[in-house]
Amino acid sequence: MEWRAEGILLSVRKHGESAAIIDTLTAEHGRHAGLVHGGTGKRHTATLQPGNQLALAWRGRLAENLGVFGTAELIQSRAAIVLGNREALATLDSARALLTALLPERAVMPVIYDGTLALFDALGEVDARRLAYARWELMLLTELGLALDLRRCAVTGAQEGLAYVSPRSGRAVTAAAAGEYADRLLPLPAFLTQSGVAPNRADLTAALTMTGFFLETWAIQNGLESKSPPARDRLVALLSKSDV
């Protein structure tokens, strides 16, 4: 069996003396791993960098085999974008870690692929990156089957003044409707319900506090680790620092 596709490189790990096992995300074949002969050699150093866009050719005796990537050619490098930019690198690493932790291997999820590609293309511009990452986590929740309803208040149906999210229903609530129960709800930063508004670090941190609760809820429900990946924790810690 064999296939060809474009894919995003999620991770690389050494295998044996000179080979590497790479984990990729494709639109047609989902999260898919394979062996690259000589993958740890100098010839592959620039190509096999996490986040890069690759032209892939995979083959295996059976569909369930690990298989071999006979081709892994560079289409687009993102190393120059994230090198020297701690927040961009932390964003890239967080997304890669979540995909690796939460996506079933070889489950075809083209919306997640397209959304991840758009996020990685936005890494170089701060406002676009922050907005894209917050929306990317919401998209990930939706595609995993835990969609949040942030369009209107669960209590009153109002579309204005949304300030919280119910941890039980995943639905938005206005500040007025929350009342004395506000401290039991999750924050809903305004930029998630308004168009054309880019978040600062504090807003994005608040958004990730909310989405992080539901990502952990999904993981627990599906028997996965309840704690978020360390790479995501590092991103949240970085964003929690004061803006420069």
Q: Report the alpha-carbon distance of residue 54 to residue 7 in Å, rounded.
A: 5
The domain that holds 136 is classified in CATH as 1.20.1440
Check if the beta carbon of residue 75 is closer than 8 Å to that of residue 6: yes
Q: Which domain holds residue 136?
A: 81-150+188-239
Strands 30-36 and 53-59: unpaired
Among 5, 215, 196, residue whose Cα is nearest residue 113: 5
Task: For residues 70 and 104, state if they share a domain.
Answer: no
Q: Is 155 exposed, middle or buried (0-12, 13-18, 19+ CB in 10 A)?
A: middle
Residue among 186, 131, 132 nearest 154 (CA): 186
Question: What token pair was written down for 16?
Answer: 């044996």
Is there a single domain that holds both residue 235 and residue 139? yes
Quote the CA–CA distance of 74 and 67 in Å, as a whole number: 20
- The tens place of each residue's pLDDT in the chain, 244 residues long, gives 899 999 999 999 999 889 999 999 999 999 999 999 999 888 888 999 999 999 999 998 887 789 999 999 999 999 889 988 999 999 999 999 999 999 999 999 999 999 999 999 999 999 999 999 999 999 999 999 999 999 999 999 999 999 999 999 999 999 999 999 999 999 999 999 988 788 999 999 999 999 999 999 988 888 786 678 999 999 999 999 855 4
Q: Which of 37, 61, 77 is the last residue of a domain?
A: 77
For residues 130 and 11, membership in a common domain is answered with no
pTM of this structure: 0.92
Residue 11 domain-assigned? Answer: yes
Residue 224 lies in a domain: yes
Which residues lie closer than 8 Å to 151 by C-beta, 6 or more apart? 159, 172, 193
How many domains does the chain fold into? 2
Tell me which of 57, 77, 97 is where a domain ends: 77
> Is 163 part of a structural domain of the chain?
no
User: 238 with 170: CB under 8 angstroms?
Assistant: no
- Considering only CA atoms, which of 114, 55, 54, 46 is closest in space to residue 80? 46
Taking the C-alpha atoms of residue 118 and residue 114, their distance in angstroms, rounded to an integer, is 6
